[in-house]
A and B are shown apart, each in its own frame.
Chain A
Amino acid sequence: MNKYNLNNSYKAVVIGGSAGSFQGVVKILSQLPKGFPLPIIMCLHRLKHVRHGFVEALSLKSVVQVTEPYDKEPIKKGGVYLAPANYHLSVELGNYFALSTEEMINNSRPAIDITLGTCAYVFKDKLIGILLSGANKDGALGMKQIKDRGGLTIVQDPSECMIDTMPKSAMALTKIDYVLKIDQIVDFLKELNKHYRT
Protein backbone atom coordinates (compact mmCIF):
# COMPACT_ATOMS: atom_id res chain seq x y z
CA MET A 1 0.00 0.00 0.00
CA ASN A 2 2.59 2.55 1.09
CA LYS A 3 5.03 2.06 -1.69
CA TYR A 4 6.91 5.30 -1.19
CA ASN A 5 7.31 5.51 2.58
CA LEU A 6 5.84 9.03 2.77
CA ASN A 7 4.60 11.20 5.62
CA ASN A 8 2.76 14.47 6.05
CA SER A 9 5.75 16.71 6.74
CA TYR A 10 6.19 18.01 3.19
CA LYS A 11 5.45 21.65 2.45
CA ALA A 12 5.74 21.89 -1.32
CA VAL A 13 6.16 20.06 -4.62
CA VAL A 14 8.31 21.61 -7.32
CA ILE A 15 8.27 20.38 -10.91
CA GLY A 16 10.72 21.15 -13.72
CA GLY A 17 10.30 20.18 -17.35
CA SER A 18 11.17 21.09 -20.88
CA ALA A 19 10.80 19.51 -24.31
CA GLY A 20 8.34 16.63 -24.14
CA SER A 21 7.07 17.42 -20.65
CA PHE A 22 3.80 19.12 -21.53
CA GLN A 23 1.66 15.97 -21.84
CA GLY A 24 3.11 14.61 -18.63
CA VAL A 25 2.34 17.77 -16.72
CA VAL A 26 -1.21 17.83 -18.11
CA LYS A 27 -1.69 14.24 -16.99
CA ILE A 28 -0.36 14.93 -13.51
CA LEU A 29 -2.56 18.01 -13.07
CA SER A 30 -5.66 16.30 -14.45
CA GLN A 31 -5.35 13.38 -12.03
CA LEU A 32 -4.33 15.38 -9.00
CA PRO A 33 -6.45 14.39 -5.99
CA LYS A 34 -9.13 17.01 -5.18
CA GLY A 35 -7.94 19.31 -2.41
CA PHE A 36 -4.29 18.31 -2.82
CA PRO A 37 -2.75 19.94 0.26
CA LEU A 38 0.59 21.25 -0.99
CA PRO A 39 1.49 24.04 -3.36
CA ILE A 40 2.78 22.79 -6.70
CA ILE A 41 5.38 25.12 -8.15
CA MET A 42 6.25 24.51 -11.79
CA CYS A 43 9.05 25.82 -13.94
CA LEU A 44 8.64 24.67 -17.53
CA HIS A 45 10.72 25.94 -20.41
CA ARG A 46 8.56 28.05 -22.67
CA LEU A 47 8.73 30.61 -25.43
CA LYS A 48 10.13 33.81 -23.98
CA HIS A 49 7.90 36.19 -25.86
CA VAL A 50 4.59 34.42 -25.67
CA ARG A 51 2.92 35.52 -22.47
CA HIS A 52 -0.46 33.92 -23.11
CA GLY A 53 -1.86 30.52 -23.79
CA PHE A 54 0.42 28.25 -21.81
CA VAL A 55 -1.23 28.60 -18.43
CA GLU A 56 -4.64 28.36 -20.10
CA ALA A 57 -3.61 25.16 -21.92
CA LEU A 58 -2.35 23.63 -18.68
CA SER A 59 -5.51 24.66 -16.83
CA LEU A 60 -7.90 23.10 -19.35
CA LYS A 61 -7.78 19.63 -17.86
CA SER A 62 -6.26 20.49 -14.51
CA VAL A 63 -8.20 19.86 -11.31
CA VAL A 64 -6.91 23.20 -10.01
CA GLN A 65 -6.62 26.49 -11.90
CA VAL A 66 -2.96 27.09 -12.74
CA THR A 67 -1.72 30.64 -12.15
CA GLU A 68 1.40 32.58 -13.01
CA PRO A 69 2.37 34.30 -9.75
CA TYR A 70 3.04 37.98 -9.41
CA ASP A 71 6.22 39.23 -7.82
CA LYS A 72 5.95 38.95 -4.00
CA GLU A 73 2.74 36.91 -4.20
CA PRO A 74 2.26 34.70 -1.12
CA ILE A 75 2.38 30.94 -1.74
CA LYS A 76 -0.91 29.28 -0.90
CA LYS A 77 -1.43 25.66 0.13
CA GLY A 78 -2.95 23.82 -2.76
CA GLY A 79 -2.07 26.52 -5.29
CA VAL A 80 -0.66 25.40 -8.64
CA TYR A 81 1.84 27.90 -9.99
CA LEU A 82 3.71 28.25 -13.26
CA ALA A 83 6.81 30.40 -13.82
CA PRO A 84 5.75 33.25 -16.14
CA ALA A 85 7.33 33.78 -19.57
CA ASN A 86 10.67 35.59 -19.61
CA TYR A 87 11.04 35.77 -15.82
CA HIS A 88 12.98 33.60 -13.40
CA LEU A 89 10.78 32.36 -10.56
CA SER A 90 12.25 32.20 -7.05
CA VAL A 91 10.79 31.35 -3.69
CA GLU A 92 11.75 33.55 -0.73
CA LEU A 93 11.98 32.86 2.99
CA GLY A 94 8.60 33.91 4.35
CA ASN A 95 6.78 31.83 1.74
CA TYR A 96 6.28 34.11 -1.18
CA PHE A 97 7.42 34.28 -4.79
CA ALA A 98 9.93 36.67 -6.30
CA LEU A 99 10.48 37.23 -10.00
CA SER A 100 13.59 38.43 -11.79
CA THR A 101 14.81 39.26 -15.26
CA GLU A 102 18.42 38.26 -14.68
CA GLU A 103 20.55 36.70 -17.41
CA MET A 104 19.36 33.42 -18.88
CA ILE A 105 20.74 30.31 -17.21
CA ASN A 106 21.28 27.17 -19.28
CA ASN A 107 19.92 29.28 -22.12
CA SER A 108 16.63 29.55 -20.27
CA ARG A 109 14.49 32.15 -18.57
CA PRO A 110 12.68 30.88 -16.58
CA ALA A 111 15.50 28.56 -15.50
CA ILE A 112 14.55 25.39 -13.62
CA ASP A 113 17.75 25.52 -11.55
CA ILE A 114 16.66 28.83 -10.02
CA THR A 115 13.18 27.67 -9.06
CA LEU A 116 14.38 24.32 -7.74
CA GLY A 117 17.39 25.84 -5.96
CA THR A 118 15.41 28.54 -4.15
CA CYS A 119 12.70 26.03 -3.21
CA ALA A 120 15.42 23.78 -1.77
CA TYR A 121 16.77 26.69 0.26
CA VAL A 122 13.38 27.65 1.67
CA PHE A 123 11.68 24.26 2.13
CA LYS A 124 14.80 22.19 2.92
CA ASP A 125 13.84 18.57 3.72
CA LYS A 126 10.14 19.40 3.36
CA LEU A 127 10.34 19.54 -0.42
CA ILE A 128 9.63 17.08 -3.20
CA GLY A 129 11.37 17.83 -6.50
CA ILE A 130 10.22 16.27 -9.76
CA LEU A 131 12.16 16.64 -13.01
CA LEU A 132 10.55 15.59 -16.28
CA SER A 133 11.51 15.17 -19.93
CA GLY A 134 13.79 17.79 -21.45
CA ALA A 135 16.62 18.44 -23.86
CA ASN A 136 19.20 20.22 -21.71
CA LYS A 137 20.77 19.95 -18.29
CA ASP A 138 18.75 22.73 -16.64
CA GLY A 139 17.33 21.38 -13.37
CA ALA A 140 20.15 18.97 -12.62
CA LEU A 141 21.90 21.37 -10.26
CA GLY A 142 18.56 22.28 -8.68
CA MET A 143 17.83 18.60 -8.03
CA LYS A 144 21.23 18.26 -6.39
CA GLN A 145 20.44 21.21 -4.13
CA ILE A 146 17.13 19.59 -3.17
CA LYS A 147 18.89 16.34 -2.34
CA ASP A 148 21.71 18.08 -0.45
CA ARG A 149 19.16 19.82 1.76
CA GLY A 150 17.36 16.58 2.54
CA GLY A 151 14.46 16.84 0.11
CA LEU A 152 13.01 14.02 -1.93
CA THR A 153 13.96 13.70 -5.61
CA ILE A 154 12.02 12.12 -8.46
CA VAL A 155 12.78 12.05 -12.17
CA GLN A 156 10.61 10.87 -15.01
CA ASP A 157 11.77 7.46 -16.20
CA PRO A 158 14.16 8.22 -19.11
CA SER A 159 12.68 5.31 -21.08
CA GLU A 160 9.37 7.19 -21.14
CA CYS A 161 10.82 10.64 -21.92
CA MET A 162 10.58 12.14 -25.37
CA ILE A 163 14.03 13.59 -24.64
CA ASP A 164 15.87 12.11 -21.68
CA THR A 165 18.81 14.54 -21.31
CA MET A 166 17.24 16.38 -18.41
CA PRO A 167 16.44 13.47 -16.07
CA LYS A 168 19.69 11.73 -17.02
CA SER A 169 21.73 14.85 -16.19
CA ALA A 170 20.11 14.97 -12.76
CA MET A 171 20.75 11.26 -12.22
CA ALA A 172 24.41 11.79 -13.08
CA LEU A 173 24.77 14.69 -10.66
CA THR A 174 22.92 13.53 -7.55
CA LYS A 175 21.05 10.70 -5.89
CA ILE A 176 17.54 10.35 -7.24
CA ASP A 177 15.12 8.70 -4.84
CA TYR A 178 12.59 7.51 -7.40
CA VAL A 179 12.69 7.05 -11.17
CA LEU A 180 9.04 6.95 -12.18
CA LYS A 181 6.77 6.97 -15.18
CA ILE A 182 4.09 9.68 -15.27
CA ASP A 183 1.40 7.23 -14.10
CA GLN A 184 3.57 6.33 -11.14
CA ILE A 185 4.13 10.00 -10.33
CA VAL A 186 0.35 10.38 -10.25
CA ASP A 187 0.15 7.40 -7.86
CA PHE A 188 2.91 8.91 -5.77
CA LEU A 189 0.99 12.16 -5.39
CA LYS A 190 -2.20 10.25 -4.55
CA GLU A 191 -0.38 8.33 -1.86
CA LEU A 192 1.15 11.56 -0.54
CA ASN A 193 -2.29 13.14 -0.42
CA LYS A 194 -3.60 10.32 1.81
CA HIS A 195 -1.07 11.18 4.48
CA TYR A 196 -2.67 14.59 4.88
CA ARG A 197 -6.18 13.17 5.13
CA THR A 198 -5.83 11.09 8.27
Chain B
Amino acid sequence: MQEIDIADLRRISELIYQKYNYDFRNYAMSSFKRRVQRILDLKKLTIDSLIKKLNEQPAFIHEFLDELTVNVTEMFRDPGFWRVMREEIIPSILLNHKQFKIWHAGCSSGEEVLSMAILLKEMGIHQNVQIYATDLDVNILEKAKAATYPVKNMDLNEKNYIRFQGAGSLKDYYREENGQAIFNRDLLSTVTFRKHDLVLGEVFNKFDLILCRNVMIYFNQTLQNEVLKKFHESLFKYGYLAIGSKESLIWCDYANRFIVVNNEEKIYKKIKD
Protein backbone atom coordinates (compact mmCIF):
# COMPACT_ATOMS: atom_id res chain seq x y z
CA MET B 1 0.00 0.00 0.00
CA GLN B 2 1.43 3.33 -1.11
CA GLU B 3 1.48 5.78 1.79
CA ILE B 4 -0.16 9.15 1.16
CA ASP B 5 2.33 11.96 1.40
CA ILE B 6 1.81 15.43 2.76
CA ALA B 7 2.00 17.03 -0.69
CA ASP B 8 -1.00 14.94 -1.79
CA LEU B 9 -2.94 15.96 1.29
CA ARG B 10 -2.20 19.60 0.58
CA ARG B 11 -3.36 19.20 -3.03
CA ILE B 12 -6.63 17.76 -1.79
CA SER B 13 -7.27 20.36 0.90
CA GLU B 14 -6.36 23.17 -1.51
CA LEU B 15 -8.71 21.79 -4.17
CA ILE B 16 -11.60 21.46 -1.72
CA TYR B 17 -10.98 24.99 -0.53
CA GLN B 18 -10.76 26.57 -3.98
CA LYS B 19 -13.57 24.63 -5.57
CA TYR B 20 -16.02 24.00 -2.75
CA ASN B 21 -15.08 26.53 -0.06
CA TYR B 22 -14.45 24.06 2.75
CA ASP B 23 -11.21 24.67 4.59
CA PHE B 24 -9.35 21.59 5.77
CA ARG B 25 -5.96 23.19 5.31
CA ASN B 26 -5.41 23.49 9.04
CA TYR B 27 -6.64 20.08 10.08
CA ALA B 28 -4.39 17.91 12.22
CA MET B 29 -2.25 15.96 9.80
CA SER B 30 -2.32 12.47 11.30
CA SER B 31 -6.10 12.11 11.42
CA PHE B 32 -6.65 13.95 8.12
CA LYS B 33 -4.32 11.49 6.45
CA ARG B 34 -6.18 8.53 7.94
CA ARG B 35 -9.52 9.96 6.80
CA VAL B 36 -8.30 10.40 3.24
CA GLN B 37 -6.80 6.90 3.28
CA ARG B 38 -10.14 5.60 4.53
CA ILE B 39 -11.95 7.21 1.60
CA LEU B 40 -9.45 5.73 -0.86
CA ASP B 41 -10.07 2.29 0.66
CA LEU B 42 -13.87 2.61 0.86
CA LYS B 43 -14.32 4.00 -2.65
CA LYS B 44 -11.47 2.01 -4.17
CA LEU B 45 -9.69 5.11 -5.44
CA THR B 46 -6.12 6.26 -5.84
CA ILE B 47 -5.03 9.78 -4.90
CA ASP B 48 -5.11 10.81 -8.54
CA SER B 49 -8.53 9.32 -9.23
CA LEU B 50 -9.86 10.94 -6.05
CA ILE B 51 -8.60 14.34 -7.17
CA LYS B 52 -10.10 13.77 -10.62
CA LYS B 53 -13.44 12.84 -9.07
CA LEU B 54 -13.43 15.90 -6.82
CA ASN B 55 -12.65 18.04 -9.84
CA GLU B 56 -15.23 16.58 -12.17
CA GLN B 57 -18.15 15.48 -9.98
CA PRO B 58 -19.40 18.30 -7.73
CA ALA B 59 -22.09 16.03 -6.24
CA PHE B 60 -19.35 13.80 -4.82
CA ILE B 61 -18.27 16.49 -2.33
CA HIS B 62 -21.06 15.66 0.14
CA GLU B 63 -20.24 11.99 0.14
CA PHE B 64 -16.60 12.94 0.53
CA LEU B 65 -17.26 15.27 3.49
CA ASP B 66 -19.46 12.67 5.11
CA GLU B 67 -16.56 10.22 5.21
CA LEU B 68 -13.85 12.80 5.85
CA THR B 69 -15.40 14.17 9.01
CA VAL B 70 -15.40 11.90 12.04
CA ASN B 71 -18.92 11.02 13.06
CA VAL B 72 -18.31 8.61 15.89
CA THR B 73 -20.25 9.67 18.95
CA GLU B 74 -22.33 8.36 21.82
CA MET B 75 -25.23 9.53 23.93
CA PHE B 76 -24.10 10.68 27.36
CA ARG B 77 -20.44 10.10 26.48
CA ASP B 78 -18.52 10.64 29.74
CA PRO B 79 -21.53 10.32 32.08
CA GLY B 80 -19.67 12.32 34.74
CA PHE B 81 -19.67 15.29 32.39
CA TRP B 82 -23.44 15.12 32.06
CA ARG B 83 -23.89 14.88 35.82
CA VAL B 84 -21.83 18.05 36.24
CA MET B 85 -24.00 19.71 33.59
CA ARG B 86 -27.16 18.76 35.49
CA GLU B 87 -25.92 19.44 38.99
CA GLU B 88 -23.64 22.46 38.58
CA ILE B 89 -23.48 24.20 35.22
CA ILE B 90 -27.13 24.42 34.24
CA PRO B 91 -28.30 25.33 37.77
CA SER B 92 -25.72 28.10 37.78
CA ILE B 93 -27.01 29.47 34.45
CA LEU B 94 -30.56 29.26 35.82
CA LEU B 95 -29.63 31.50 38.74
CA ASN B 96 -29.53 34.41 36.31
CA HIS B 97 -31.62 33.37 33.36
CA LYS B 98 -34.91 31.51 33.26
CA GLN B 99 -34.47 31.15 29.52
CA PHE B 100 -31.15 30.56 27.80
CA LYS B 101 -29.40 29.33 24.66
CA ILE B 102 -27.06 26.41 24.00
CA TRP B 103 -24.93 25.78 20.92
CA HIS B 104 -23.77 22.28 19.98
CA ALA B 105 -20.92 23.12 17.61
CA GLY B 106 -20.06 20.17 15.36
CA CYS B 107 -23.11 18.19 16.45
CA SER B 108 -22.49 15.25 14.10
CA SER B 109 -25.35 12.72 14.17
CA GLY B 110 -26.94 14.48 17.14
CA GLU B 111 -26.35 12.10 20.06
CA GLU B 112 -25.17 14.90 22.35
CA VAL B 113 -28.05 17.14 21.32
CA LEU B 114 -30.48 14.41 22.32
CA SER B 115 -28.59 13.82 25.55
CA MET B 116 -28.97 17.51 26.37
CA ALA B 117 -32.65 17.52 25.43
CA ILE B 118 -33.28 14.54 27.73
CA LEU B 119 -31.31 16.15 30.53
CA LEU B 120 -33.31 19.38 30.21
CA LYS B 121 -36.56 17.44 30.08
CA GLU B 122 -35.67 15.63 33.29
CA MET B 123 -34.84 18.98 34.90
CA GLY B 124 -38.26 20.24 33.81
CA ILE B 125 -36.85 23.14 31.78
CA HIS B 126 -36.91 21.69 28.27
CA GLN B 127 -39.16 24.47 26.97
CA ASN B 128 -37.00 27.26 28.41
CA VAL B 129 -33.89 26.43 26.46
CA GLN B 130 -33.25 27.18 22.81
CA ILE B 131 -30.70 24.79 21.31
CA TYR B 132 -28.73 25.40 18.12
CA ALA B 133 -27.01 22.37 16.61
CA THR B 134 -24.61 22.89 13.73
CA ASP B 135 -22.34 20.85 11.51
CA LEU B 136 -20.69 21.45 8.16
CA ASP B 137 -21.79 18.08 6.81
CA VAL B 138 -25.37 18.30 5.51
CA ASN B 139 -25.82 14.53 5.33
CA ILE B 140 -25.00 14.10 8.99
CA LEU B 141 -27.36 16.96 9.91
CA GLU B 142 -30.19 15.02 8.27
CA LYS B 143 -29.32 12.04 10.46
CA ALA B 144 -29.30 14.27 13.52
CA LYS B 145 -32.74 15.65 12.63
CA ALA B 146 -34.11 12.13 12.16
CA ALA B 147 -32.94 11.13 15.68
CA THR B 148 -32.96 7.52 14.58
CA TYR B 149 -30.11 5.16 15.42
CA PRO B 150 -29.41 1.46 15.07
CA VAL B 151 -30.78 -0.44 18.06
CA LYS B 152 -27.38 -2.10 18.47
CA ASN B 153 -25.96 1.28 19.56
CA MET B 154 -28.52 1.55 22.33
CA ASP B 155 -26.72 -0.83 24.64
CA LEU B 156 -23.79 1.55 25.07
CA ASN B 157 -26.08 4.59 25.19
CA GLU B 158 -28.23 2.97 27.87
CA LYS B 159 -25.13 2.08 29.93
CA ASN B 160 -23.98 5.69 29.73
CA TYR B 161 -27.46 6.89 30.70
CA ILE B 162 -27.44 4.61 33.75
CA ARG B 163 -24.05 6.00 34.81
CA PHE B 164 -25.46 9.47 34.29
CA GLN B 165 -28.17 8.42 36.77
CA GLY B 166 -31.04 9.59 34.60
CA ALA B 167 -34.54 9.80 36.00
CA GLY B 168 -35.88 6.77 34.16
CA SER B 169 -34.72 4.50 31.41
CA LEU B 170 -33.43 5.63 28.03
CA LYS B 171 -36.16 3.41 26.58
CA ASP B 172 -38.68 5.97 27.81
CA TYR B 173 -37.52 8.26 25.02
CA TYR B 174 -37.59 6.04 21.96
CA ARG B 175 -39.51 3.29 20.23
CA GLU B 176 -38.03 0.43 18.22
CA GLU B 177 -38.93 -0.21 14.62
CA ASN B 178 -37.09 -2.47 12.13
CA GLY B 179 -33.90 -2.51 14.15
CA GLN B 180 -33.95 1.26 14.58
CA ALA B 181 -34.41 3.28 17.76
CA ILE B 182 -36.59 6.25 16.88
CA PHE B 183 -36.48 9.04 19.46
CA ASN B 184 -39.55 11.10 20.37
CA ARG B 185 -39.92 14.08 18.03
CA ASP B 186 -40.87 16.24 20.93
CA LEU B 187 -37.30 16.12 22.30
CA LEU B 188 -36.04 18.08 19.30
CA SER B 189 -38.88 20.61 19.21
CA THR B 190 -36.62 23.25 20.74
CA VAL B 191 -33.64 22.50 18.51
CA THR B 192 -32.63 24.48 15.42
CA PHE B 193 -30.37 22.48 13.13
CA ARG B 194 -28.33 24.41 10.62
CA LYS B 195 -25.31 24.00 8.41
CA HIS B 196 -22.40 25.95 9.82
CA ASP B 197 -18.68 25.75 9.21
CA LEU B 198 -16.60 26.44 12.31
CA VAL B 199 -13.59 27.32 10.21
CA LEU B 200 -15.06 29.69 7.63
CA GLY B 201 -18.44 30.49 9.19
CA GLU B 202 -19.34 33.75 10.89
CA VAL B 203 -20.36 34.19 14.50
CA PHE B 204 -24.16 33.94 14.26
CA ASN B 205 -25.58 34.28 17.76
CA LYS B 206 -24.76 34.65 21.46
CA PHE B 207 -24.96 31.73 23.85
CA ASP B 208 -24.89 30.90 27.54
CA LEU B 209 -23.31 27.49 26.93
CA ILE B 210 -21.35 26.06 24.02
CA LEU B 211 -20.57 22.35 23.73
CA CYS B 212 -17.81 21.41 21.33
CA ARG B 213 -16.45 18.14 22.61
CA ASN B 214 -13.87 16.22 20.62
CA VAL B 215 -14.22 18.41 17.55
CA MET B 216 -11.19 20.68 17.84
CA ILE B 217 -8.91 17.65 18.24
CA TYR B 218 -9.10 17.39 14.45
CA PHE B 219 -7.65 20.90 14.07
CA ASN B 220 -4.06 22.01 14.32
CA GLN B 221 -3.14 24.61 16.93
CA THR B 222 -3.49 27.56 14.55
CA LEU B 223 -7.04 26.58 13.79
CA GLN B 224 -7.84 25.75 17.42
CA ASN B 225 -6.83 29.32 18.23
CA GLU B 226 -9.10 30.79 15.57
CA VAL B 227 -12.07 28.68 16.56
CA LEU B 228 -11.61 29.45 20.24
CA LYS B 229 -11.73 33.13 19.31
CA LYS B 230 -15.08 32.56 17.62
CA PHE B 231 -16.41 30.70 20.64
CA HIS B 232 -15.27 33.55 22.85
CA GLU B 233 -17.18 35.99 20.68
CA SER B 234 -20.25 33.72 20.62
CA LEU B 235 -20.48 33.51 24.41
CA PHE B 236 -22.12 35.97 26.76
CA LYS B 237 -19.79 37.10 29.51
CA TYR B 238 -19.79 34.35 32.17
CA GLY B 239 -21.04 31.88 29.60
CA TYR B 240 -19.64 28.33 29.58
CA LEU B 241 -17.60 26.37 27.06
CA ALA B 242 -17.31 22.57 27.29
CA ILE B 243 -14.61 20.69 25.38
CA GLY B 244 -13.54 17.02 25.40
CA SER B 245 -12.01 15.49 28.52
CA LYS B 246 -8.55 15.26 26.94
CA GLU B 247 -8.62 18.59 25.15
CA SER B 248 -7.00 21.66 26.63
CA LEU B 249 -7.07 25.39 26.01
CA ILE B 250 -3.69 26.05 27.60
CA TRP B 251 -1.95 26.31 24.24
CA CYS B 252 -4.45 28.86 22.90
CA ASP B 253 -4.00 32.64 22.88
CA TYR B 254 -7.50 33.23 24.20
CA ALA B 255 -7.10 30.88 27.15
CA ASN B 256 -6.61 33.77 29.58
CA ARG B 257 -10.11 35.06 28.86
CA PHE B 258 -11.52 31.91 30.38
CA ILE B 259 -11.26 30.22 33.75
CA VAL B 260 -11.55 26.50 34.35
CA VAL B 261 -14.68 25.71 36.33
CA ASN B 262 -14.29 21.94 36.11
CA ASN B 263 -10.90 20.62 35.13
CA GLU B 264 -11.91 16.99 35.18
CA GLU B 265 -14.68 17.51 32.63
CA LYS B 266 -13.00 20.44 30.88
CA ILE B 267 -15.65 23.07 31.38
CA TYR B 268 -14.55 26.68 31.05
CA LYS B 269 -16.18 30.02 31.80
CA LYS B 270 -15.65 33.22 29.85
CA ILE B 271 -14.57 35.90 32.31
CA LYS B 272 -13.20 38.62 30.01
CA ASP B 273 -14.57 40.18 26.83
Contact = CB atoms under 8 A, between A and B. Distances in A.
B31 A102 contact: yes
A75 interface: no
Contacts of B224: 72
B246 A71 contact: yes
Nearest to A83: B246
Given A101-B72, A101-B214, A102-B72, A72 B31 contact: no
Contact of B251 (A69, A72, A102, A121): A72
A66 B121 CA distance: 41
Contacts of A71: 216-217, 244, 246-248
Interface in A157-173: none
Interface residues on B, range: 20 to 34
Nearest to B213: A101
Interface residues on A, range: 20 to 34
B253 to A, nearest CB: 14
Interface stretch (A13-21, A35-43, A85-93, A190-198): A85-93
A51 B72 contact: no
Contact of A98 (B28, B70, B160): B28
Given A84-B246, A101-B214, A102-B70, 8 more contacts: A51-B78, A72-B221, A91-B30, A92-B28, A99-B246, A102-B35, A103-B72, A118-B30
10 contacts: A72-B221, A73-B248, A84-B246, A91-B30, A92-B28, A98-B31, A100-B30, A101-B70, A101-B73, A102-B35
Interface of B: 3, 28-31, 34-35, 70, 72-73, 78, 80, 159-160, 163, 214, 216-218, 220-221, 224, 244-248, 250-251
Interface of A: 49, 51, 68-73, 84, 87, 90-93, 98-103, 114, 118, 121
